[in-house]
Structure 1
């Protein structure tokens, strides 16, 4: 939404309550108080919307991850994807869950923070991604935890081509007892064997 459209929307939102006040013809002092209250409400709302990306607690309320019994439920984000709060070797990251990715893919920064050794890998691997073929190094995460689900010794690939993106792939999902989507929520159920 451009600035002009935002201004017009805000003006319309302010005009409606003001016109209701004027139609009732309350005393001027009361009208000014109501007008200032409405302006404050809309200003706070506008501030929250404009700073949405900087408010992780607000994002968590809207795109939360909950443990219900043994299941971990992750609500779909606005972009139609599922993002999980994941612990990799004790390092917390927000990761895209992608059933189209064969293997879990980590950014170099995440791999470094989690202490994942990629130097032992003799040769890089070529991966066919949505952005073409990229070269990556193999590594292993000792522990990966998502909500109530924990797994050990998970294979990962690391590449500068991934940028800052971390992806939880099918090699993680295949270790689950089950996973499914119901009413815009991804439901992960642990395996009894993990």
Structure 2
């Protein structure tokens, strides 16, 4: 990634601040802390303001940590009260043949809207193109933070959304985190936040086999 791409990604993140309630809250808490520091020189009330500011920043930091923790499949963080539902993958075995381009493609539906997805074991998050996200009614997560993703074309800014229903073959997923960005074009990806919640996935004779966990399997 070159320096220009880095500066462009940082600029995009700064432009996203007005659209992120969490970032706005963090800025407001810091400003409140500065005000408290100035008032504290003249009044004890300034200490109260600084305490409130510190508590607010602590809550914001905890929320950010919870959101980022969900990107690692080893941590099944679920706090529905703040818009972080449990990510569940269930269903039956699904087989996907190798495509002529050397990738595994599957026709999947997002909230009932179909699209072509590439299975990518190198992708941390499932990624949805902006056109498909719009058709499926996906909105940026309330209170979510903009994220930077490394792609073949450099680093891009994306927002995180929640897919209520994701279906591919015999597999059904709910509460799935997904990244959405204009720069994805029409490209959609099934990432490790879905694959890691399977019992196993393997390749046999050129066919990708996805097997849900036994306790989640639903008889066909």
TM-score (norm 2): 0.54
Higher strand proportion (structure 1 or 2): 1
Give the structure 1 partner of residue 97 of structure 2: 75
The structure, 1 or 2, with the larger RCO (C-alpha pairs under 8 Å, 6+ apart) is 2
Give 5+ residue unaligned stretches, structure 1: 1-68
The alignment of Structure 1 onto Structure 2 pairs a total of residues equal to 126
Task: Map 1:159-178; keep pairs closer than 5 Å.
Answer: 159-178=181-200
Shift of 1:193: 4.4
2:177 is equivalent to residue 146 of structure 1: no
Give 5+ residue unaligned stretches, structure 2: 1-90
Shift of 1:128: 1.6
Task: Map 1:77-116; keep pairs closer than 5 Å.
Answer: 77-116=99-138
2:158 is equivalent to residue 133 of structure 1: no
Give the structure 2 partner of residue 12 of structure 1: none
Bigger-Rg structure (1/2): 1
Shift of 1:121: 4.6
Give the structure 1 partner of residue 209 of structure 2: 187
**1:105-162: per-residue Cα shift (whole Å, max 9, x none)?**
1110111111111163543111122221100011000011111111110000000110
TM-score (norm 1): 0.61
Shift of 1:81: 0.1
With over 3 angstroms needed to count, the CA separation of the structure-2 counterparts of 1:135 and 1:178, relative to structure 1, is: same
Large movers: runs of 4+ above 2 Å: 119-123
Instruction: Indicate if the aligned counterparts of 2:141 and 2:162 stay in contact, CA closer than 8 A.
Output: no
